[in-house]
Amino acid sequence: MNTENILNHYEKHNIIQMKDLNLYNKTLLIRVDFNVPIKNQKILFDTRIKSTIPTINFALKKKSKIILMSHLGRPKEGNSEKCFSMFPIFEYLKKFFYKNNVYFSNNLEIKKMKIGDIRILENVRFNIGEKKNDIELSKKYANLCDIFVMDAFASAHRKEASTVGAGKFSKIACAGPLFIKEITALKKSLKNPKRPMTAIVGGSKISTKFNILKKLSVIADTVIVGGGIANTFLAIDNDIGKSLHEKKFIPLAKKLRDTNKILIPVDSRVGTNFSKNAIAIQKKPNSIKKNEEIMDIGDISIRNIKNIIKRSKTILWNGPLGVFEFPNFCIGTKKLAQYISKSNAFSIAGGGETLSVIKIFKIQNNISYISTGGGAFLEFVEGKKLPVIKMLEKKYTNK
């Protein structure tokens, strides 16, 4: 597939937008992404909740009635486990919107609401049929509202009752401001990027990101690889000891390497045991011993990356370059984060581990756009048409 055909994946989507609708006195069922880490009933990381506040405020300004629903964690369907309850999020929002009537609901019955009311539903994954996109459950969701608003880009790749099903059976289904913001930012970095464009793809398995690497090797000028993904490239010509890599993908990695778009580490930080106390030793790939494993990139590779980031006009970042949780093996990822934060390029970052890196190194304010999506982010970059976008386009066509 040539560059032009690949870029056509990111043409304009025809979908109804929340901002273009009459929302006065309407009941809005907004699918949000409140899938945040919670420990002992306390929210540890509230970025995803805060990112939804402008959507809620917009609906309040337009004098709507608001119902919010989201998944949280991976509970077993039908089991209302306390550790996966949305109640702590309700408590958080109640304090935030203290001037409004904010209440919690653990059922899908239609309740009389007044303008300005905010109703938070219990975890959608407590409902049997959620993951299978059950028709009856989807209709129950749809019957709660006048307008279904999809504002959870992170769940756009899931064909479930609270994402696709609810929208399909609602009278009107539209995209919320955050959802539009997400796909607009991604299109900007993929369809008409300012050049040079640099993509960073890290992580443990090349098998899960090979199609993305292939796509980006056409779109980007340089693709920087890290983690186990980089190790598979290094294993083409080197014995890399007990380093994490995938032997089956070595022939495919070689084909990608031969495009001359992939920047592979030229040196690494290795250790003899996988632990936070492991001592880091810098080595060239051809001198790694059988009892050693690569856990970070080396100083020469860091300098090479610095030079590339410095020249870049567009940066797309997904994944760390090493075991960033270990003090002796976080240097490559930390330096990368710092280089991107200081760059004048348009930068977009997405994926669960990437968000963790951004939080740890405190660079939230220096990334042009941070995507809330994980799997959806990757599938969009890969060029797949996400199930939710398909549904929204169909509703647009049939409006």
Indicate whether 326 pLDDT > 70.
yes
Partners of 105 in beta bridges? 121
pLDDT confidence tier of residue 7, bands split at 50, 70 and 90: very low
Return the pLDDT at 247.
95
Least trusted range by pLDDT, from 44-53, 95-104, 244-253: 44-53
323, 330 contact by CB (below 8 A): yes
Q: Is the pLDDT of residue 299 over 90?
A: yes
* Full strand arrangement of the beta sheet holding 27-31: 102-105, 118-121, 65-69, 27-31, 147-150, 172-175
Q: Angle at CA 197, nearest 5°, toward 196 and 200?
A: 135
At 112-132, the pLDDT tens digits run: 999 999 999 999 999 999 999
Phi and psi at residue 199, to the nearest 5°: -115, 140
Strand partners, 269: 282, 296
CA 204 – CA 304 distance, rounded (Å)? 22
Burial of 266 (0-12, 13-18, 19+ CB in 10 A): middle
Per residue in 131-156, pLDDT (tens digit) is: 999 999 999 999 999 999 999 999 99
Which DSSP letter does residue 131 get?
Answer: T
Report whether pLDDT(2) > 80.
no
pLDDT band with cut points at 50, 70 and 90 for residue 12: low
pLDDT at residue 249 above 90?
yes
pLDDT one-digit tens code per residue, 23-34: 999 999 999 999
Q: What is the mean pLDDT of the chain?
A: 93
Q: pLDDT at position 134, please?
A: 98
User: What's the CA gap between 243 and 231, in Å, rounded?
Assistant: 7
Residue 188: closest CA among 5, 346, 377:
346
Instruction: Encode pLDDT of 63-73 as tens digits.
Output: 999 999 999 99
Distance CA 162, CA 175 (A): 14
The single-letter code of the amino acid at 13 is: H
Beta bridge partners of 222: 198
Give me the phi and psi of 314, to 5 degrees please.
-135, 135
Confidence check: pLDDT of 1 > 60: no
Average the pLDDT over 309-335 and give the result: 96
Instruction: Say if CB 347 and CB 317 are below 8 A apart.
Output: yes
- CA–CA separation, 109 vs 106, rounded Å? 9
**Comparing 35-44, 82-91, 249-258, which segment has the lowest mean pLDDT?**
35-44
Torsion of CA 112, 118, 124, 129, to 10 degrees: 30
d(CA 378, CA 360): 22
Calculate helix-pair angle for 87-96, 47-61, nearest 10 degrees. 50
Q: Which two tokens stand for residue 266?
A: 């030229």
What percent of the chain lies above the pLDDT cut of 70?
Answer: 97
Cα Rg for the chain, rounded, in angstroms? Answer: 23
Q: Can you tell me the distance from the alpha carbon of 192 to that of 270, in angstroms, rounded to the nearest whole number?
A: 39
Residue 3 is predicted with a pLDDT of 43
Residue 104 DSSP class: E
Q: pLDDT digits over 352-396, tens only?
A: 789 889 989 999 999 999 987 778 888 888 888 899 999 999 998
Q: Quote the percentage of the chain above a pLDDT of 90.
A: 82
257 versus 351: the higher-pLDDT residue is 257
Closest C-alpha among 151, 41, 55, 32 to residue 91:
41
Checking if the pLDDT of 6 tops 50, the result is no
Report the DSSP beta bridge partners of residue 174.
149
